[in-house]
Structure formats: structure tokens, C-alpha cells
């Protein structure tokens, strides 16, 4: 591939970092992928995004078997004396749409590979597949964030082979991706897996970034899909049998907004034996329970323009013109 300044670079796309989250692994923590010893992995093509209803494109897309990452680099480890800094990108999309792909997202390698870095982009489960919760130990939620942590472990263990420095990893992301970065700053699961962080127009302190009633939306989804609602084990067993496309279709019905949903997303998962998020973000920050690394936080001007464009779909919101 060729960067914007005409530098050539290598692309390795669709590398699995966890087992496919299918069947009994749906609504569960990610499981490390089995190694492919003796086989050659075809990493020449971009994989489909995680299954979703994309409110921006107004269509269903993606697959459930989606836990892959992409690596863009100039050299292999044997071709460079000093391994290069690694940048790991988490895509935006309100935790329910988006992709790590070059053709569908904002952080393609064309710009970044003008520099001497290794770029990694990560796909993670979205919507109910990534964040459904029964608010008990059966399904505590936050699977999409744990997917990202699994990907960071993969990067730590393997990025040197692609010319990257596992001791110089910067996380960055925009909007919901920026909030994801901030969650990794707060999570004990992510400690030691990165060394710098950039949150672009999104942190865990945003009102949309933390969900208080995921269990309520899980019950609604179960009702729409004719699944038991009183017993978590029976509810999950039923939902795991439903076709993924059908789950997304009914998930769309219970989301109040198609562009800025309120149902499924990160939550405090204290029901988990080892919580990803052990307390509210503000409490963790005030008590200095944070992974101490250099951080950049910024905002993107006019990001809300996408909502104004779609305001006909979200009539319950009031739009007001104002000046600062």
C-alpha cells in the first residue's frame, strides 16, 4: 500500500486475536485464539465489521465472527534495528456501529504511515453483542471492552514481529473510541498493556458513555425475541440460539435513537469476579485508581453535526441555537 506522501508500507488485515464469539461464546468474555502453527494465515483482505445496524449508512451490515485486527507497518522485526512506536486505534460509533476497516473508518493508514510507526486498528463487539448484561454474574457485560483488552495482549505478545515496540504503545480513538481509551485508563484489566493515551472527543465521563440500565434493555430485547425474562440462565440460552441478524433487528427497535443510542454500552460490572470497571469513572478518578500514563484529551468541533443531520429520526430531542 502507499501512504499519502507516497511511502510504501505493508498491510496485514483480518488477523484474529480471539476465538469467534459464536454459540456458547456469545455474551461471554473473549477467549484467546488458537495458534495456527504450520498454516499460513491469509491476511491480504479486509474482514467484515462486527454485526450492527449502521445508523449513518441506514443499513444492517457485518458478521458476528469479527474479532480481528489490522496491522500496518513499514518493516518486519528483522529489517529494523530499533522497533517503532505502536499506535492502537479504537473506532467511534456510539458502541453500536463502526469498523476498523480502511474503507469504512476515519483512521486509515494512508496518513499515519507517513510516519515511522506501526498502526493497529481493532474490531470489537458492538451493541448487545458487546454490552448486553443481566446485571448478575451470568452476563455482567463489557465484552466489547474486554475484546479490546484481549487485542492489546495480542499486540504486546506479537507486535515485535511486525517491527513494533511492545514497550511503546499509544492508545487513541475518537468519540466512543475516545471513551474506550479512557476506560482502559481506569481498568485494572488493561494495566501495563499501553504507555500513552489519546482520547479524541470522548471520555468515560460523557453522559452517553456509561449506561445505568443495561439490564432493563436486556429484558426488553428478550421480550421482543420471545425469550424467558425471569431467569438469567434461561434468558441467555434463548438469546444465544437466535440468529444474529434477528438480534440486531430487534435491538434497533428498543434503541431510542438510531444515531446516538441509549441502551447497550459500558457499565460498572461489579458482579464480575474481576471487574473491568469496578466503580463509576468519576469515583475511580477521584480516588486515583487510574493507570498512570501520559494522556492527551481533546474535542472535535461540530461533532454533533451528525445528529442535527439526523434530527428527523430523534424527535424527542430539542435542538437549540446558542453562542458561547
User: Among candidates 70, 126, 68, 138, which has minimal Cα distance to 93?
Assistant: 126
Residue range 31-77, pLDDT digits in tens: 999 988 778 899 998 889 999 987 777 789 999 999 999 999 998 87
pLDDT, position 313: 52
What are the residue ranges spanned by the domains of the chain?
Answer: 10-301
Q: Kindly give, in sequence order, each residue whose CB lies less than 8 Å from that of residue 123, ignoring residues fewer than 6 positions away.
A: 47, 49, 50, 66, 67, 68, 69, 99, 100, 147
Per the listing, cell 485508581 goes with 289
Residue 246's pLDDT is 95
Q: In this structure, how many other beta carbons lie within 10 angstroms of the beta carbon of residue 105?
A: 18
Contact by Cβ (8 Å): 107, 121: yes
What predicted TM-score, i.e. pTM, was given to this entire model?
0.92
pLDDT given for residue 262 in this prediction: 64
User: Can you read off the three cell numbers belonging to residue 301?
Assistant: 468541533
Name which CATH class applies to 10-301: alpha beta
3-state secondary structure 218-266: HHHHHHHCCCCCCCHHHHHHHHHHCCHHHHHHHHHHHCCCCCCCCCCCC
pLDDT given at position 306: 63
CA distances 9 to 12, 51, 76, 114, Å, are 10, 29, 11, 9
Per-residue b or e along 7-20, where b marks 16 or more CB atoms closer than 10 Å to that residue's CB: eebbbbbbbbbbeb
How high is the pLDDT of residue 283? 96
- Nearest CA-CA partner of 125 in 102, 158, 150, 107: 150
| Cell numbers that stand for 17 in this block | 486475536
How far, in Å, CA of 264 to CA of 267, rounded? 9
Please, are residues 115 and 74 in contact by the beta-carbon 8 Å criterion?
no
Enumerate residue ranges in the chain where pLDDT < 70.
78, 102-106, 255-262, 303-324
Amino acid at each position: 500500500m502507499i501512504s499519502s506522501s507516497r511511502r510504501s508500507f505493508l498491510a496485514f488485515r483480518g488477523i484474529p486475536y480471539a476465538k469467534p464469539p459464536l454459540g456458547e461464546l456469545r455474551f461471554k468474555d473473549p477467549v484467546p485464539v488458537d495458534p495456527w502453527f504450520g498454516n499460513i494465515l491469509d491476511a491480504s483482505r479486509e474482514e467484515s465489521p462486527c454485526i450492527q445496524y449502521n445508523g449513518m449508512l441506514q443499513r444492517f451490515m457485518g458478521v458476528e465472527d469479527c474479532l480481528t485486527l489490522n496491522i500496518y507497518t513499514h518493516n518486519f522485526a528483522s529489517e529494523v534495528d530499533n522497533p517503532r512506536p505502536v499506535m492502537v486505534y479504537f473506532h467511534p460509533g456510539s458502541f453500536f456501529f463502526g469498523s476498523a476497516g480502511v474503507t469504512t473508518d476515519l483512521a486509515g493508514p494512508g496518513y499515519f504511515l507517513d510516519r515511522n510507526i506501526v498502526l493497529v486498528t481493532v474490531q470489537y463487539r458492538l451493541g448487545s453483542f458487546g454490552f448486553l448484561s443481566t446485571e448478575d454474574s451470568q452476563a455482567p457485560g463489557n465484552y466489547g471492552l474486554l475484546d479490546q483488552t484481549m487485542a492489546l495482549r495480542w499486540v504486546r505478545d506479537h507486535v515485535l514481529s511486525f517491527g513494533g515496540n511492545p514497550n511503546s504503545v499509544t492508545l487513541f480513538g475518537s468519540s466512543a473510541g475516545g471513551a474506550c481509551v479512557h476506560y482502559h485508563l481506569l481498568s485494572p484489566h488493561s494495566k501495563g498493556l499501553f504507555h500513552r493515551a489519546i482520547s479524541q472527543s470522548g471520555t468515560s465521563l460523557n453522559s452517553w458513555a456509561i449506561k445505568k440500565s443495561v439490564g432493563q434493555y436486556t429484558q426488553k430485547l428478550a421480550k421482543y425475541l420471545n425469550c424467558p425474562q425471569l431467569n438469567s440462565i434461561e434468558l441467555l440460552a434463548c438469546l444465544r440460539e437466535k440468529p444474529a441478524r434477528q438480534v440486531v433487528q430487534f435491538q434497533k427497535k428498543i434503541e431510542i435513537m438510531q444515531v446516538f443510542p441509549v441502551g447497550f454500552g459500558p457499565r460498572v460490572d461489579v458482579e464480575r469476579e474481576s471487574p473491568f470497571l469496578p466503580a463509576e469513572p468519576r469515583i475511580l478518578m477521584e480516588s486515583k485508581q487510574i493507570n498512570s500514563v501520559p494522556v492527551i484529551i481533546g474535542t472535535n468541533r461540530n461533532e454533533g453535526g451528525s445528529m442535527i443531520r439526523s434530527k428527523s429520526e430523534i424527535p424527542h430531542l430539542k435542538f437549540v441555537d446558542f453562542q458561547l
